[in-house]
Amino acid sequence: MLRDMMPQFELYQPDTLENALNLAKELDDKAWIMAGGYDSLDWFKDRAKRPSAVIDIGGIASLKGIKETADGLEIGALTTLTEIATNALVREKYSLLASAAGRVASPQIRNAGTLGGNLSQDTRCWYYRSGVNCYRAGGNSCFADSPQGQNREHCLYGANRCVAVSPSDTGTAAVALDARMVVRSSAGEKVIPAEEFFIGPAIDITHMTVLKKGEILTAVRFPKEWAGAKFYFEKVTDRNTWDFALVSVAAAMLIDGGVIKKIRVACGAVECVPRRLKAVEEAVTGSPQNADTALLAGKTAVQGATPLNFNHFKIPLMENLVRRAIRDA
Amino acid sequence: MHLVRVSTDVWGQRVLEGVSWDLLPVAAVAGAVVVIGHALYLLLRRKHPASVDTSAAASERIERHAGIDRLSHWLTALSVLTLLATGFLPVLGVKFPWVTLHWITGVLLVILVLFHIVRATIWQSLRTIGIGLSDLRRTARAGKYSLAQKLMHDAMTAAVIAVVVTGVLMLFKIDTPFWKRNPYVFGADTWGFIYVLHGLGALLALTLVIIHVYFALIPENRMYLRAMLRGWMTRGEAESRHDLERWPAAPR
């Protein structure tokens, strides 16, 4: 496969959101919306995606920045991961998000990669990324889920013809923090809970999110309810320098007198969406935050896991991460 | 416009993927053309439909469809409509968890088709729905089913058999509470062929459903709709379109 040589495309660089939305509407099927470019440019260089027009929204100033609101925190979709990881307000009140953003890829990538891009990125299944005609690419086969398929990074839950997982670290944190995604199109604005923003193959096998043609993720809102809660984020990777998660866990909990009053927990890289662990939340709410509760949480977390040929290791890994999240938050 | 989707597989070979969804509007338009064409014909024709004898003797009710056949028909209709919706709405961009509803309804349709085959073979006469030379003679009156009804049935049978047989094979590709997926029973080429057949059957079914619903709803066919709902038509209604010597209907 020819690599590092992008096919030709028309480049549009709007400086306002309105211009970007108009372009997206006008170009319709031809348009590829690019933010930091760390997902898009891979696709183009591998020649696996060949859009004829790219709308680079990286220059839209209104989509950048972190601001405190009456309801919590609002972060523009083009805010870089480094800004999020180092911002004093985020670190003070939503350190879970800062931790997750700080564990994405490498410092160089975090300097240019954006929150919106990290949330909206495509899966990293290497069969799909190399441009083969798998289900996710519109075909009718899954090469990862074959007798010889290399699937140690793939899913434990929600396999539905495709077995890819969500690669987004900030997505896992966003689900745990009950974030709201602000999506704009020429038709107006809508606000979508993080849990509903990500979709699995049973709903749409060719997309990772509910974003449709002509829609742009403009901001993410983090509710006040979880500001200053106790948090835990941990991501296990093959390489500690920079890599996508083998399994990650994000937990936010409100503790009163040593008892878990309210909790949200999500795991990354075990399903095509950040997997919210509702059974764990129900099991530990009202229990003391201790080793016994953590043990129960870990065992509850992996109920129903269905490993593929080469990813059985993810089950104890996920169990231990959830156990640590409850015990050490 | 393309007829099929073709792509390059992992070994660089061109393989069939399935029917092209460019054909979806074609299937819908084909149904609409028949509907609009027939509606125009009804508006413009000079000949009025055959009158129905409404005398007391002709008002006697005769059985057209037994209760079990009506139940089977409506369950089949519900299944087919659900399968068309869960199959085509995602193609049109409507996002919902369609796979589970699609395969469960598909299994229901398989059961209904098997039931219908057994019922038609053992308890009914296959000759009533077969097309013979007498159906092609303009002077001959229809038996229990007219030529148009037989053509609709036989075309729908072909579409449903295509989707049911290929659909059963496609069940190998998904996990259910009853079996684990094993997508490797066939090679990519065979799967492509199966997907093409499944898509073509579904598109044909879409066209036929549009036509079938239209002909079921037009006023001059109201007696057939009533018969499918309540089981009977009057002897006069039957005699207006059918030869009761070829269709020895029982009184009801």
Per-residue model confidence as pLDDT tens for chain B (252 residues): 889 999 877 677 888 999 999 999 999 999 999 999 999 998 888 666 667 777 767 788 888 999 999 999 999 999 999 999 999 999 998 989 999 999 999 999 999 999 999 999 888 877 777 787 777 776 667 888 888 999 999 999 999 999 999 999 999 998 888 888 888 888 888 999 999 999 999 999 999 999 999 999 999 899 999 999 999 999 888 888 888 887 877 777
Which residues, numbered 118 to 157 in chain A, qualify as contacts with chain B under a Cβ-Cβ cut-off of 8 Å?
127, 132-133, 137-143, 145-147
Taking the CA of residue A208 and the nearest CA in chain B, the distance in Å comes to 12
The closest alpha carbon to A251, from A263, A262, A240, belongs to: A263
> Looking at the complex, does the CB of residue B191 fall below 8 Å from at least one CB of chain A?
yes
Q: What percent of chain B has pLDDT over 90?
A: 58
A141 vs B8, B90, B191: nearest CB: B191
CB-based contact A129:A261 (threshold 8 Å): no
The domain of A16 spans 10-60
If you classify domain B16-36+64-241 with CATH, what class do you get? mainly alpha
Q: B145-186 pLDDT, tens per residue? A: 888 999 999 999 999 999 999 999 999 998 888 888 888 888
Look at B9 and A141 and tell me if their CB atoms are within 8 Å: yes
Q: B29-40 pLDDT, tens per residue? A: 999 999 999 999
The answer to whether residues A171 and A299 belong to one domain is yes
pLDDT value of position A141: 87
Q: Sketch the domain layout of chain B as residue ranges.
A: 16-36+64-241
* Integer Cα distance of B209 and B217 in angstroms: 12
* Integer Cα distance of A278 and A231 in angstroms: 17
Interface test with B, best of A127, A134, A141 (most B CBs within 10 A): A141
Provide CB contacts within 8 A for A110, sequence distance 6+.
A80, A81, A82, A85, A101, A102, A104
Cβ pairs bridging A and B (under 8 Å) = 57
The answer to whether residues A47 and A89 belong to one domain is no
- CATH code at A86? 3.30.465.10
A132 vs B10, B93, B98: nearest CB: B10
A140 vs B17, B90, B93: nearest CB: B17
The answer to whether residues A318 and A283 belong to one domain is yes
> Looking at the complex, does the CB of residue B99 fall below 8 Å from at least one CB of chain A?
yes
The answer to whether residues A254 and A280 belong to one domain is yes
pLDDT value of position A101: 98
The answer to whether residues A194 and A45 belong to one domain is no
pLDDT value of position A80: 98
pLDDT value of position A140: 86
The answer to whether residues A68 and A37 belong to one domain is no
A139 vs B7, B99, B100: nearest CB: B7
The answer to whether residues A53 and A103 belong to one domain is no
The answer to whether residues A290 and A211 belong to one domain is yes
* Integer Cα distance of B80 and B98 in angstroms: 14
**Is position A200 within any domain?**
yes
> Looking at the complex, does the CB of residue B183 fall below 8 Å from at least one CB of chain A?
yes
Place of tokens 């209907």: B249
Strand ranges (E), A16-133: 31-34, 53-56, 66-69, 72-76
| ipTM of predicted complex | 0.72
The answer to whether residues A225 and A300 belong to one domain is yes
Mean pLDDT, each 10-residue run in order, chain A (329 residues) = 79 97 93 94 89 96 97 98 98 98 96 97 94 88 89 96 97 98 96 97 94 95 97 96 95 97 98 98 97 98 96 98 97
Look at B195 and A199 and tell me if their CB atoms are within 8 Å: no
Helices (H), chain B: 23-44, 67-88, 98-118, 133-136, 147-170, 188-217, 222-230, 235-241
pLDDT value of position A1: 53
The answer to whether residues A44 and A169 belong to one domain is no
**Is position A226 within any domain?**
yes
Which residues, numbered 202 to 241 in chain A, qualify as contacts with chain B under a Cβ-Cβ cut-off of 8 Å?
202-204, 210, 212
CB-based contact A15:A63 (threshold 8 Å): no
> Looking at the complex, does the CB of residue B186 fall below 8 Å from at least one CB of chain A?
no
Taking the CA of residue B240 and the nearest CA in chain A, the distance in Å comes to 50
Domain count, chain A: 2
Instruction: Sort out which chain A residues have CB atoms less than 8 A from B181's CB and list them.
Output: 145, 159
* Integer Cα distance of A124 and A144 in angstroms: 12
**Is position A309 within any domain?**
yes
> Looking at the complex, does the CB of residue B51 fall below 8 Å from at least one CB of chain A?
no
The answer to whether residues A71 and A28 belong to one domain is no
pLDDT value of position A156: 98
- CATH code at A29? 3.30.43.10
Q: What's the sign of the alpha-carbon dihedral B149, B152, B157, B160?
A: negative
Residue type, A183: V
**Is position A138 within any domain?**
no
Taking the CA of residue A129 and the nearest CA in chain B, the distance in Å comes to 12
Look at A141 and B195 and tell me if their CB atoms are within 8 Å: no
Measured between CA atoms, the residue of chain A closest to residue B21 is: A138
Taking the CA of residue B27 and the nearest CA in chain A, the distance in Å comes to 21
The answer to whether residues A170 and A47 belong to one domain is no
Instruction: Sort out which chain A residues have CB atoms less than 8 A from B17's CB and list them.
Output: 133, 138-140
Taking the CA of residue A207 and the nearest CA in chain B, the distance in Å comes to 10
Instruction: Sort out which chain B residues have CB atoms less than 8 A from A203's CB and list them.
Output: 95-98
Whole-prediction pTM: 0.84
**Is position A148 within any domain?**
no
